Amino acid sequence: MLRFRTPVEEESSREIQQLRQAVAQDDARLLDEMLSQEIYKRVIDCRGGWGIAGTPLRMAASKGHLRCLQVLLARGARVDRVDVKAQTPLFTAVCGKYLECVLALLRAGADPDGSAANNCSPVLTAAREGDAQILRQLLQHGAAVNSRSRVPLWSSGASVSGGPLYLSAVYGHLECFRVLLAFGADPDYNCGEGGAPPPPPAPLSSSGRAQQPKTVLEMCLRHGCGVEYVRLLIDFGANVYLPTLIIEKTTKQNEAVELLLQERGTPKSLASQCRLAVRGQLKRVGRIHCVDQLELPRSIIHFLEHRSAPVVVQ
């Protein structure tokens, strides 16, 4: 559906273009002077420009012009005003990997999940692009760790939802994978009950039967993501009995399958079960990001966070 400009945008196209030009040139001083005048301030949230029409704030975020972005926020620009593709300024800053702009927008109250009308989200984008720093900031500000793309992915004939954990695995971003799990991502995403949204209806196979959704663990095995990913999923409580094993002649996959088979035959240690129980309770009350605030010895905090205790040199 075509979206025409509002009457204000039609009448003030000249002022809108001048604001956008100041932002494009990263001239924060000129931008501030212009926004001190009512004729410009009244169009601060108007969209303009060719291609993807957006607000001056959207342009500042997409170009990484932090000073202009700060001026616009200080002058009252709407932090979550979307463009014609339902992309918020935060979403475009994440796409550009502009960490400082992301932080400024989050501190100004931007929704870390972006717009519900967008097919993608900031978390999905950061996970796909492998930007662990931005991903961590989004999650610390309350973004949904089990967000689901509105465009389902079909891979290897299996029903797969392109969640952030899945994307970080198939694109080879191990640190993002670790960050997501640390912030409570469901290791059985797509099949579990740990907070992930329900998967979309499964497609029909050539035989007319509905294909069953696959866990992240099974997709890691299918894609040969490596033993590190499988080890992390197991450590964070993935159900090792869910995947259907398909053995192929690749060393990387065989190592991961061997680890999985070993785990199936060996009960988890009491310490691992205690860690899963504590983290599970924190997830249920929405406090998984507060592990380091527990009144426990630092060595136990590090254990709960899946971090190695620091070595003390005497």
pLDDT at 2 over 70: no
133 shares its domain with 235: yes
Query: Tokens at residue 166, please?
Result: 């899945």
Q: What type of residue sits at position 140?
A: Q
Task: Tell me, yes or no, whether 99 lies in a domain.
Answer: yes
Q: What type of residue sits at position 33?
A: E
The total of structural domains in the chain comes to 3
pLDDT digits (tens, 9 = 90+) for 206-243: 444 445 567 888 888 888 888 999 999 999 999 888 76
145 shares its domain with 260: yes
pLDDT at position 194 is 46
* Residues 187 and 220 sit within 8 Å (Cβ to Cβ): no
**What CATH number does residue 76 fall under?**
1.25.40.20
Task: Tell me, yes or no, whether 310 lies in a domain.
Answer: no
Element holding 313 (H helix, E strand): none
**What domain range is 252 assigned to?**
120-192+211-266
From 101, 118, 135, give the residue that closes a domain.
Answer: 118
60 shares its domain with 167: no
Apex 103 CA angle, 151 and 304, nearest 5: 80
Looking at 17-21, 90-94, 103-107, 130-134, which range is the least confident one?
17-21
Residue 159 is given by DSSP the state E
pLDDT at position 188 is 87
235 shares its domain with 156: yes
Closest Cα partner for 123 from 63, 78, 180, 53? 180
Burial string for 261-288 (b: 16+ CB within 10 Å, else e) reads eebeeeeeeeeeeebbebbeebbeeeeb
Summarize the confidence of residues 82-106 as an average pLDDT: 96
pLDDT at 181 over 80: yes
Summarize the confidence of residues 170-186 as an average pLDDT: 95
133 shares its domain with 225: yes
pLDDT at 245 over 80: no
Query: Tokens at residue 226, please?
Result: 């490596």
Residue 272's pLDDT band, with cuts at 50, 70 and 90, is very high
254 shares its domain with 273: no
44 shares its domain with 126: no
* Residues 235 and 187 sit within 8 Å (Cβ to Cβ): no
pLDDT at 50 over 80: no
47 shares its domain with 102: yes
**N- to C-terminal Cα distance for the chain?**
69
- Please classify residue 241 by burial: count the beta carbons closer than 10 Å to its beta carbon, then call 0-12 exposed, 13-18 middle and 19+ buried: exposed
| Residues β-bridged to residue 154 | 159
Q: CA torsion, points 26, 94, 290, 116, in degrees to nearest 10?
A: 120
126 shares its domain with 262: yes
Residue 114's pLDDT band, with cuts at 50, 70 and 90, is very high
142 shares its domain with 253: yes
Task: Tell me, yes or no, whether 200 lies in a domain.
Answer: no
Quickly count: other Cβ atoms within 10 Å of residue 126's Cβ: 30
Distances (CA, A) of 19 to 65, 68, 86: 13, 10, 21
Task: Tell me, yes or no, whether 38 lies in a domain.
Answer: yes
Task: Tell me, yes or no, whether 27 lies in a domain.
Answer: yes
Residue 7's pLDDT band, with cuts at 50, 70 and 90, is low
Task: Tell me, yes or no, whether 129 lies in a domain.
Answer: yes
128 shares its domain with 81: no
Task: Tell me, yes or no, whether 103 lies in a domain.
Answer: yes
Q: What type of residue sits at position 60?
A: A
pLDDT at position 157 is 43
From 93, 118, 143, give the residue that closes a domain.
Answer: 118
90 shares its domain with 124: no
Distinct helix (H) and strand (E) counts, the chain: 17, 2
pLDDT at position 29 is 97
Task: Tell me, yes or no, whether 312 lies in a domain.
Answer: no
